[in-house]
Amino acid sequence: MTREEYKKRFNILNYFFTEAYLSFYIWKGLQDKAFEKTFLENPRFWSATLLAIENTWLSGLAKIYEDSEYSKKAKVISVYALLPYQTDSVRAAKVQNILELNSNVIKNIIILRQHQLAHNNAQHLMNPKAILKRFPIVYADVEKLLLSSGEILSNLNPDKGYGYEYKMWADDCEHDGKDVIKKLQYYSKLRREHYDKLKRGEIDDWQFPPTQSLAN
């Protein structure tokens, strides 16, 4: 693999890391039990949305850490596929150490991908708790792996001296997820107040938002 091709593949991998990282922390920001009442106001939408976000980061991590016959032949873009071509042995060793420290959660995510995310394995889907009991997805371990993203990318980068501020993104994504729900909660509060006024005869517009505000 030439240095130019390595660099192009690395840039694509960087994008995959970003997608998985952002989706995980938006998902995490939406896990507050206090939000469940808001989710129940539009249950089908939120059921589909939360599942889609969770599957995005799970599938993303499974691809990022694919270690297969395809990665060994560099036919896919993953950490394991690029690592043998990192010419800086010191930085390559740092990435290998991170992979070993997180090997259990990586393995469990890959197993879930094989049986559910990429393939509808009948035996697993008939009893999904069986595999998850043997190979649990521990979210604290997932987060630990994700927090290593910057270090992995810095050490895989073909050029030295690059840093990646993923921790700041984590805080921003969690805030964004929570902020969306808080806005919806405020909207629900205004809607309840609107219908209370309608019941008391203070207004005669049954629509919410009110027709007049929509016209404006």
- State the pLDDT at residue 180: 94
* Residue 150: inside a domain: yes
**b/e sequence 3-37, b meaning 16+ C-beta within 10 Å:** eeebeebbeebbebbbbbbbbbbbbbbbeeeebee
Q: Which structural domain range is residue 71 located in? A: 3-174
Q: Is 118 or 48 the better-scoring residue by pLDDT?
A: 48
pLDDT of 64 strictly over 70: yes
Q: What is the pLDDT of residues 151-172, one digit of tens each?
A: 999 999 999 888 877 777 888 9
Residue 197 belongs to a domain? no
Inside any domain, residue 69: yes
Q: Tell me 202's DSSP state.
A: S
**38 pLDDT tier (thresholds 50, 70, 90):** very high
Residue 177, amino acid: G
Tens digit of pLDDT for each residue in 84-129? 999 999 999 999 999 999 999 999 898 887 766 566 666 656 666 7
What is the rounded CA–CA span in Å between residue 90 and residue 86?
Answer: 10
Question: Residue 191: inside a domain, yes or no?
Answer: no
Contact between 174 and 28 (Cβ < 8 Å): yes
Mean pLDDT of the 144-152 span:
92
**pLDDT score, position 70:** 87
Split at pLDDT 50, 70, 90, the class of 23 is very high
Helices (runs of H) and strands (runs of E) counted in the chain: 13, 0
CA–CA separation, 6 vs 62, rounded Å? 20
Task: Categorize the per-residue pLDDT at 212 as very low, low, confident or very high, splitting at 50, 70 and 90.
Answer: low
Please report whether residue 209 resides in a domain.
no
What value does the mean pLDDT take over residues 56-75? 91
Averaged pLDDT of the chain: 87
Stretch 172-201: mean pLDDT: 90
Q: Is residue 210 part of a domain?
A: no
Q: What is the pLDDT of residue 125?
A: 61
DSSP reduced 3-state for 99: helix
Q: Taking Cα atoms as reference points, which of 58, 57, 80 lies closest to residue 67? A: 80
25 domain residue, yes or no: yes
Q: What is the DSSP letter of 179?
A: H
Distance CA 189, CA 209 (A): 12
Rounded (5°) CA angle 127-140-35 = 80
Among the listed residues 160, 174, 158, the one whose alpha carbon sits nearest the alpha carbon of residue 13: 158
Domain count, the chain: 1
d(CA 143, CA 134): 20
Residue 216 placed within a domain: no
Q: Are 27 and 50 in contact (CB under 8 A)?
A: yes
